[in-house]
């Protein structure tokens, strides 16, 4: 399995609080992605990174920000969590650009916003 870890694995928080999810990889892959997975929607891309300090928005980026200060870490921040952000969040990595090769996924973080 690709060396991808996510932390925390589970989190319960209250509406309006900030939340940061961490993705850590040991594969030295250039590309990293954050997805959310909800029933009936499959996996939807939030943000992605194509290098240190290089990030771009995905399909559902509103309410989320990201940062990548090191190759191995990609952080997803919810500045002010809302109940609609209750979801399972997956991080993925790939060695090539996002649409041209397989992505390897982490184990996921289950976030509940009350």
Answer for the pair 38, 106: CB distance below 8 angstroms, yes or no: no
Q: Taking the C-alpha atoms of 19, 98, 57 and 21 in order, what is their torsion angle to the nearest 10 degrees?
A: 0
Q: Residue 50: name the closest of 36, 35, 29 by CA.
A: 29
Query: Which of 3, 63, 95, 108 touches other proteins by CB under 8 A?
Result: 108
Output the six-digit token pair for 11.
């989190």
CA angle 52–57–65, rounded 5-degree value: 70
Q: State yes or no: residue 5 binds other proteins (CB under 8 A).
A: no
Is residue 62 within the footprint of other proteins (CB under 8 A)? Answer: no
Under the binding rule (CB under 8 A), the answer on residue 75 touching other proteins is no
Q: How far is the CB of 83 from other proteins (least distance, A)?
A: 22
- The minimum distance between CB 17 and other proteins, in angstroms, equals 25
Q: Which residues bind other proteins (CB under 8 A)?
A: 33, 35, 40-45, 48, 56, 58-59, 90, 92, 97-108
């Amino acid at each position: 399995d690709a060396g991808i870890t996510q932390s925390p694995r589970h989190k319960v928080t209250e509406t309006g609080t900030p939340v940061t999810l961490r993705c850590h990889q040991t594969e030295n892959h250039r590309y990293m992605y954050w997805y959310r997975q909800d029933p009936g929607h499959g996996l939807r891309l939030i943000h992605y990174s194509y290098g240190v300090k290089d990030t771009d928005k995905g399909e559902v980026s509103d309410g989320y920000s990201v940062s990548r200060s090191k190759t191995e870490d990609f952080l997803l921040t919810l500045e002010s969590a809302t109940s609609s952000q209750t979801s399972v969040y997956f991080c993925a990595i790939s060695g090539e650009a996002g649409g041209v090769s397989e992505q390897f996924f982490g184990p996921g973080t289950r976030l509940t916003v009350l």
